[in-house]
Amino acid sequence: MLYLIGLGLADETDVTVKGLELIKKAERVYLEAYTSILLVDTKRLEAYYDRPIIVADREMVESSSDEILAEADTSDIAFLVVGDPFGATTHTDLVLRARALKIPVQSIHNASIMSAVGATGLQLYNFGQTVSMVFFTDTWKPASFYDRLKENHQIGLHSLILLDIKVKEQSLANLARGRKVYEPPRYMTVAQCASQMLETEEGKGEGICGAQALAVGVARLGATDQKMVAGTLKQLSEIDLGPPLHSLVLLGGRTHYLERDYIREFAIDVAIFDTVWREFYAGES
């Protein structure tokens, strides 16, 4: 059996009882480590699970899946995913390869950012499409996310924005020369995301994510030191929420007054929040 096991959001103790039992009896245990991270290192996981863990980077999962699936038809293999196996990032490709090899698959679900974002007080059924924000470069500033935000905006829905992480990435120079030299890990912050949104708005000019748009910045959701702040994108572009992981929610025009009251409690500046709310949101609630 191939088990896809969700680990939850924060640390080694977030694993479910069912997931932990399966990890302890698996022949091999892999940790998918390129789409997200837990807030503790692999050694903490190994100590708690009492099992050695093989870190599976993007290259292994996408190009060497046969190595992961080897002998999974006669023994149990655990593939660990931060959050939920089919949450923000799905692993359907690995499942399809297992099916082709007649290997049975079972998923053990857990909390993901897609559900835990409800901790902001924003109602999950008021969310539209989830989008991803990648790191801009001097020569590459993709704006496809803007169209998704616009579609959500047009029907008044919130937009959850998942922020880029760079783990075991090669520079263009090293990639071109075939050198296995990797850049230090990078994790996008709420401030960087908000800044890129404002930069894109300057070019688009359609009022989807301008300086006065209200948003909620989230850091380390599910951890004991999680942090949430509400404010304008201009305010969030200057905020420091500390270590990763970060996410951002752009408020929709149909934000309910109960949602407003909830997020108002962690507004960066209540007076500014109330002013922007009255001017741009109150009439649409």
Nearest C-alpha neighbor of 234 from the set 265, 276, 185: 276
For residues 225 and 48, what is the distance between their CA atoms, to the nearest angstrom?
21
Please answer whether residues 126 and 96 qualify as being in contact, where contact means their C-beta atoms are separated by less than 8 angstroms.
no
Q: 3-state DSSP helix/strand/coil percent for the chain, to nearest 5?
A: 40, 20, 40
Residue located via tokens 């059924």? 125
Residue 163 is labelled as binding a ligand:
yes
Residue 87 is labelled as binding a ligand:
yes
Residue 10 burial (C-beta neighbours within 10 Å; 0-12, 13-18, 19+): buried
Residue 241 is labelled as binding a ligand:
no
For residues 284 and 156, what is the distance between their CA atoms, to the nearest angstrom?
8
Dihedrals φ, ψ of 165, to 5°?
-130, 145
Residue 84 is labelled as binding a ligand:
yes
For residues 267 and 35, what is the distance between their CA atoms, to the nearest angstrom?
30
Residue 38 is labelled as binding a ligand:
no
Residue 8 is labelled as binding a ligand:
no
Residue 45 is labelled as binding a ligand:
no
Q: How many angstroms separate the Cα of 168 from the Cα of each of 17, 55, 82, 182?
A: 31, 11, 17, 5
Residue 222 is labelled as binding a ligand:
no
Nearest C-alpha neighbor of 119 from the set 197, 234, 219: 219
Please answer whether residues 284 and 254 qualify as being in contact, where contact means their C-beta atoms are separated by less than 8 angstroms.
yes
Residues annotated within a binding site for S-adenosyl-L-methionine:
9, 84, 87, 112-113, 163, 221, 246
Residues annotated within a binding site:
9, 84, 87, 112-113, 163, 221, 246
